Structure 1
Amino acid sequence: MMTVRSELCAAWATPRKCPAMSEESATTSSPSTLQPRKRWGIVTQTVLLITSIATIAVVVAGIAVAPFVRSAAVAEASGALERLADLTAAYVERSDGRRPPDRLIARPLERILRREGVTGYLVSREGGLPPALQGSGISDDEFNALLAGESISSRGRDGRGGRILIEGRPVTGGAVILTQSVDVAGELGTKFLARIAAALALGLVISVGIAYVVARRLSRPLREAQGVAHRMAGGERDERLTPRGPAEVADIAEALNALNAALATSEGRQREFLLSVSHELRTPLTAIRGYAEALNDDILDPEQLTSVGATIGHEASRLDRLVHDLLDLARLGAADFHVNAADVDVREILTEAAEVWRTRCDRDGVTLTLAEAARPVYVHVDAMRLRQIIDNLMENALRVSPQGSQIHLAIHTDAAIADGSFAVIEVRDSGPGLSEDDLAVAFEPGALHERYRGVRPVGTGLGLALVDRLASRMGGAAAVTSSPGVGSSFWIRIPLA
C-alpha cells in the first residue's frame, strides 16, 4: 500500500496543464490588435548610455581639474617671473650704469620682457616708486627692504584693477621691479585646459566608438535569435542557434532551440493524432457505408438484417462517442465549458457504470470486478462528467485487456491512498502495462498511439486526455501507475463533499 501511495504522490505531483481561458483573458485584446510601440535598438541604447556616462565623466573631470590647472599655471608663471627677475637684475648689473635710475630698462631687454607680457622698472631711493607702481600693493616696508638689498615677491593690482605678480631684485644704485598680469599668466593654464579638453573629447569619441563596436558584437547573437524566432513563427522547424555571447544571450539561444524542438515534437504529435483520429473516424464510417450499400443492393438475407442493424447502431454509437470526445476536448479550453458540480454518492455512479460495462466485458471474455465501499461516499463533482471519466477509463482498460483476463473497478477512501480529503477511483486492467516514458505522456492526445500503433491495441488517446482534463476541471487529478507485463492502474482523485 505504501508503494502505491508513493507512486500516486509522485504522479499527482507532476503538473499537467489543462488549457483554460479566463473571462479576463478572453476579453483582453490580442497583441496583434495593439499598435507596436517604437523602440530603440540595443546598439542605440548602449551607445547613448556610454556617451552619457563618458560626457558626465568629462564634465566632472573638467570641473575638478580646472582650478588646479589655473593655480598651477599661476604658480609656474610666478616661478618664471622670479627667474626672469634674476636674469634682468644680472643684466642690469653688467650694464654701464649710465641710464637714469628711474628710466625703463634697456630696449633689447624691454622687448624680451614685453614679449613675455612682463613690464620692468629700474627704481632708486631718490626717485621712489614709478607712478605706474604706486598703489600696486608694494608697501613702504617692502620697497625699503628691496632698496636695502632684499628680494621681494608679491601680488597686487595695476591701475585698472587687474591682478598682477610682482618681483623685485636689488641692483647697484637701486632695484629692478618686474610685473606681470595674472590674466596673462593664466593664458598658459587656458592653453593647458584646452589640451586637456581636447584629450577628453578624443577619449569621449573613442569610448563612443568602442561602445558601438561592443554593442554591435553583443547584439549580433540577439539579431540572429530574432531571425530564427521569426522563421519559427513562419513554421520552419529546422532552425538551430549556436549559443554564444554573454551567458544571458547564450541562454536565450538555448531556450529557443529547446522551444523549437518542443514545437517540432508537439506538431509531430498533432499530425499523428489527426492521423489516428481520421483512422478511428474512417473505421466505423467504412462499416456503416458497407452495410448501407449492401442494404441498398438488397444482397442481405432477411435473417441477417437484425445483426446488420445492430452493427450499424454499434458503429454509429462509436462514431458519435468519438465526435463527442473531440468536441469535449476542444471545449475544455474554452471559457464557456461549465461543470455542474453537486454532492453525489459515488457508489451509485460506479454501480451503474459496472452494470453497463459488465455486459461488454462478458462479451469480450473479460471479467469485471467491483469493489464497493461499505458506506455512502459523497463527492462534489459533476455526475455526468464523472461517468464520462469512468466510461473512458473502462473503454481503455477493455481495449488492452486480453480475453480471459480481469478488470478491477474500485473506490478508495482510506487515508493511505486518498489523503482524507479526496475519494479515489481506480480502474486496473490486465494489459501489457506502460514504461516510465509512457507514464509521462499517458494523458497526452495521440502520444501512446504514435508509439504503439500496429504493435499492440491502442486508441487515439482522446479518452485519457479527457479524463485528465475533466478531473482537473472538477478540482481533482488523474494519475497512472503501471507494472510492464502485469497491467496499469488509472487513478482519479475527486474532492469529498
Structure 2
Amino acid sequence: MLVGLLPLVMLSASLLIESGQRQRSDLIDAVQNTMDALGTAIDAEFEVSISALDTLGASMHLQDDDLLGFYSEAIGLLKRRPGWANIVLSDPAGQQIINANLPYGTSLPRRVDSASSQRTASLAKPTVGNLIMSAVLKTQVFAIQVPIKQGDKVKYVLAAAARPALLQNLISQQHFPQSSVIAILDPESRIVARSHNLDSNLGKSASPSLVEVLKAGKPSGWTTTTTLEGVPVYTVFTRSAKTGWTAVIGIPRHVIDGPVHWSYAILAGAIVLSVLLGLGAAFVIGRSIISPVKQLERAAVSMGQGVKPAPPETDISEIREVGLALAMVHVEREALLGKERIARSEERQARLAAESANRAKDEFLAMLGHELRNPLAPIYNAAQLLKLPDLDRDRIQRLSAIIERQTDHLTHLVDDLLDVARVISKRIVLQKEVVNINDIVPEAIEQVQQLINERHHRLVVALSRDPLWISADKTRLVQVIVNLLHNAAKYTPEGGVIELTTRGAGGMNEILVKDNGVGISRELLPRIFDLFVQSERTLERAQGGLGLGLSLVKGVIELHEGEVRAASPGPGLGSDFTVRLKQLELPSETARQRIPSHEAQAPAMNQSITIVDDNADAAETLAMYLRETGLFTVTRHLNPHVALEAAEAALSDIYILDIGMPEMDGFELARRLRSLPGSRNTVIIALSGYGLQDDREKALEAGFDYHFTKPVNFAELRTALREVHRRNAEHRHTIS
C-alpha cells in the first residue's frame, strides 16, 4: 500500500512546486510590464518638457538677441508649466544669462550644476540632470536641458528646473497594494518621487541593496532587496536607455508568496489526508483495497494532466472521500488557473491600451509640432520679406494676406484644442435659443466655401422645405456643420461631390453630410470619433489638421442631447455622417428668435484709444491698424503703471488692455481705471491669451466691457468698436 501511495505523493509534490513557481513568475512578469509602462511614461513626460523648451528656444527674440523679450516669453511659459520651478538661460560654460525667478538685469552667478550644462553643450542634445538642491529656490529640483544652436555651434543652454511633483503624479496613477513601494530614481539612484514617506526620503539614496543591483547596469529585471524602512521585498525595475532614470517597485514578499504558500497548504493537506486514509484502510482491510488505491493513483495522474479525476468505485467510504478530495483539489486548481488566465488577459489588455495611448500621445505631439511649424514658416518668411526696401504695394498686400491666412490657421488649431478640452471637461456653457437648422446652413457653408473651391468640389445642398426647429447654441451648431463639411472636403479627392441634406424624421431633425471620398475602413469606423484619430495619410500630410474635428462634433452634439453617426461602405467608397437632434414644436411668432439685421455703421467719431500691452510688437501692430481706420487717436503704453498715471491726468474714451502683464495684470488695471472719476462711460476691452468661460466671466467682474482672445480677429474688433461708436453717438445725442 505504501508503495502504491508513493507515486501519488511524488507527483502531487512535483505539480505543487511547478504550479507555485509558475504563479510567482507570472505575477513578477505582470509587474515588470507595468514598470516598463511607467518608464515609458517618465520618458514621455521628459519629451513633453523638452518639446516645450525647444519651442521656447526657437523664439525670434532669442535669435535677435532681444533678451528682455525672451525673458518675458520665459516667464509666460513658466506660468503655464506648474511642474517647473524656474527657467534658466546660460552659456555653455554654465554662466547664467537669464533667470526667470529673478528680475531682469539682476547680476547672476554661475549655475550650481554648471558641469551639467557643459555636458549638454558638448553632447549638443537634450539631457535630464540629477536631483540637486537649488540655492535660489531653496528646494530640490532637477534640470531638463536643451542646447540652443546658432549656426553649427551651441550658443546657449536652456534649462527648466523641474519639481519632483512633475513625476510624483505618475506614481499616483499606479494601482498596487498599499504595502508596495514605488519610486522614481535619478541616474545617481537618488529618490525623486516615492509612494511612501517622500518628504523624509526626497533626495536620499535608495537602499544599499537596491543601489548594488542598479550598479550592475542591467536595463530591467527583478531581485530581492530591502526597502529603506527595512522591509524585505521583491524588487522589479526598469531603467531608461535615454536618460538613465529608473522606475522601481518593491512588493512585500508575502504579497507574492502568500497565494503560492496557500496553494501549497491546500495541496499538501490533501496529500497528507490521502496518505493517512490509505494507511488506515491498509491496516483494516489489507490487500482488499489495492484495486481502489490503484484507481486513486490513476485519478492523481489524470489531475496532473489537467483532466478531472474519476472517483474510485468502492464501498470503502474512506477511499471514496480521498477520490472526492482529489476531485475538489482539481476544481480549486482549475479555478485558480482560470483566475490567473483572466488576470493575465486583463493585464495584457491594459498594457496594450497603455501602449496605444502612449503611441497616440507621441503621434499627436509630433503631429502638433508639424502643424504648428507649417504656418510659422510662411509667417516668418513673409516677415523677412517685408523688411526688404522698395516693396511695391501689390507685394506688401500679398505678404500681408499670407500672414493673415497662416495666423488664422494657427488660431484655428489653438481654438480646436481649447474647444476639445472644454468639451471633455464639460465646461462648455451652451447659449441655447430657438433655431431653424435651415437658417444656419448658409453661414456654415460660407466658412468652408474657400476650401471647397480650392479642391474643385461640387457641393449639393438639399434643405427641408419645412422649418426644422431645435433648441441649440447657434454658434456651436454652425461649428459642427463646418467641421463635417471640412472633413468631407479634406478626405475627398479633387473634383469630388459633397452632399448636405436637412430633413425631419421620426421626431428628430437630421443633418446629413455625404461625400464620395476616400471612405473609412471597417477597423477605423468604430474609433472615428475618438481623439486624435485620423485616416492613414502620406508623409506630406496633405489633409493637415490635428484629428480633433470629429471628436469636437461628437462632444458638442452630446451636450445637445443628440447623436452623431458615421457610415462607410469601405475604403474608396465615400462616407456618410448623420447628426440627429430632437425636434421642437413650431414656436409662436413672438417666441422665435430671429437673427438680428446688421446695424448701419455709426458715423466716424474721432475718439481716443489707449493700448496697454507689455509686448511691444503686439501693441505697435494693433496701434497701426487702429490708426489706419482714421477713426481714432491712438496711444500705447508698455507699462501699466505709466498708463494708470496718464489716465489719472486724462481718461481715454477706450482702453484695450493685455491681461498677462508683469507687475500689474490687466484685471487689476481695469479695476483701478473703473475707480477713477468719470470712467462710467469709458469702454475697457480685454485682450488675452486665455479664452475659457471662467476667464471671460472674471474679465466682466473686473469691469471689462468686451473680452477677446489673442490673436484678435480684426473683424470682431471692428464690430465691437462700431458698437462703441453707436452707444457714444446716442449718448451725445441724448445730452444735446
Q: 1:293 aligns with which of 381, 384, 387?
A: 384
Matches within 5 A, 1:163-174: none
Question: Partner residue of 1:396?
Answer: 487
Q: Which amino acid aligns with 2:369?
A: S
Q: Which amino acid aligns with 1:487?
A: G
Contact 1:272–1:450, Cα closer than 8 Å, also in 2: no
- The alpha-carbon deviation at position 214 of structure 1 amounts to 11
| Distance (Å, rounded) in 1 between the aligned partners of 2:525 and 2:385 | 44
| Distance (Å, rounded) in 1 between the aligned partners of 2:581 and 2:339 | 43
Q: Root-mean-square deviation (CA), in Å?
A: 3.2
Question: Partner residue of 2:517?
Answer: 431
Matches within 5 A, 1:13-412: 220=24, 223-224=27-28, 227-228=31-32, 230-231=34-35, 234-236=38-40, 245-298=336-389, 300-412=391-503
Identity of aligned residues (%): 27
Question: Partner residue of 1:113?
Answer: none
Decide whether aligned partners of structure 1 residues 402 and 451 sit closer, same or farther in structure 2, where only a CA change above 3 A counts: closer
In the alignment, structure 2 segments of 5+ residues that lack a partner are 1-12, 42-333, 585-736
Decide whether aligned partners of structure 1 residues 449 and 296 sit closer, same or farther in structure 2, where only a CA change above 3 A counts: farther
Rg comparison, structure with higher value: 1
| Distance (Å, rounded) in 2 between the aligned partners of 1:297 and 1:422 | 59
| Distance (Å, rounded) in 2 between the aligned partners of 1:367 and 1:248 | 58
Decide whether aligned partners of structure 1 residues 258 and 360 sit closer, same or farther in structure 2, where only a CA change above 3 A counts: closer
- The alpha-carbon deviation at position 422 of structure 1 amounts to 2.1
Tell whether 2:573 aligns with 1:470.
no
Question: Partner residue of 1:494?
Answer: 581
Which string of whole-angstrom CA distances, capped at 9 and with x for unpartnered residues, describes residues 73-111 of structure 1? xxxxxxxxxxxxxxxxxxxxxxxxxxxxxxxxxxxxxxx
Q: SS at 1:392's partner residue?
A: helix
Decide whether aligned partners of structure 1 residues 278 and 449 sit closer, same or farther in structure 2, where only a CA change above 3 A counts: farther
Decide whether aligned partners of structure 1 residues 260 and 450 sit closer, same or farther in structure 2, where only a CA change above 3 A counts: farther
Which string of whole-angstrom CA distances, capped at 9 and with x for unpartnered residues, describes residues 321-365 of structure 1? 110001111222224332333331111111222244335423442
Q: SS at 1:413's partner residue?
A: strand
| Distance (Å, rounded) in 2 between the aligned partners of 1:461 and 1:364 | 20
Decide whether aligned partners of structure 1 residues 367 and 451 sit closer, same or farther in structure 2, where only a CA change above 3 A counts: closer
Q: Which amino acid aligns with 1:423?
A: N
Which string of whole-angstrom CA distances, capped at 9 and with x for unpartnered residues, describes residues 202-238 of structure 1? xxxxxxx9xx99997797367436624651562459x
Question: Partner residue of 1:134?
Answer: none
Contact 2:444–2:479, Cα closer than 8 Å, also in 1: no
Contact 1:287–1:312, Cα closer than 8 Å, also in 2: yes
Q: SS at 2:431's partner residue?
A: coil
TM-score by length of 1: 0.50
- The alpha-carbon deviation at position 307 of structure 1 amounts to 2.2
| Distance (Å, rounded) in 2 between the aligned partners of 1:395 and 1:465 | 14
Decide whether aligned partners of structure 1 residues 287 and 455 sit closer, same or farther in structure 2, where only a CA change above 3 A counts: closer
Which string of whole-angstrom CA distances, capped at 9 and with x for unpartnered residues, describes residues 436-492 of structure 1? 122122223333255555476353211122112222222122221124323212222
| Distance (Å, rounded) in 1 between the aligned partners of 2:29 and 2:342 | 11
Q: SS at 2:459's partner residue?
A: strand
Aligned length: 278
Contact 1:269–1:450, Cα closer than 8 Å, also in 2: no
- The alpha-carbon deviation at position 295 of structure 1 amounts to 0.4
Q: 1:446 aligns with which of 529, 532, 541?
A: 532
Question: Partner residue of 1:48?
Answer: none
Decide whether aligned partners of structure 1 residues 235 and 344 sit closer, same or farther in structure 2, where only a CA change above 3 A counts: farther
Decide whether aligned partners of structure 1 residues 298 and 436 sit closer, same or farther in structure 2, where only a CA change above 3 A counts: farther
| Distance (Å, rounded) in 1 between the aligned partners of 2:471 and 2:580 | 11
| Distance (Å, rounded) in 2 between the aligned partners of 1:421 and 1:277 | 41
Decide whether aligned partners of structure 1 residues 257 and 449 sit closer, same or farther in structure 2, where only a CA change above 3 A counts: same
Decide whether aligned partners of structure 1 residues 452 and 343 sit closer, same or farther in structure 2, where only a CA change above 3 A counts: farther
Decide whether aligned partners of structure 1 residues 300 and 245 sit closer, same or farther in structure 2, where only a CA change above 3 A counts: farther
TM-score by length of 2: 0.35
Q: Which amino acid aligns with 1:435?
A: S
Decide whether aligned partners of structure 1 residues 247 and 221 sit closer, same or farther in structure 2, where only a CA change above 3 A counts: farther
Decide whether aligned partners of structure 1 residues 227 and 305 sit closer, same or farther in structure 2, where only a CA change above 3 A counts: same
Higher helix share: 1
In the alignment, structure 1 segments of 5+ residues that lack a partner are 1-208, 238-242, 415-419
Q: Which amino acid aligns with 1:488?
A: S
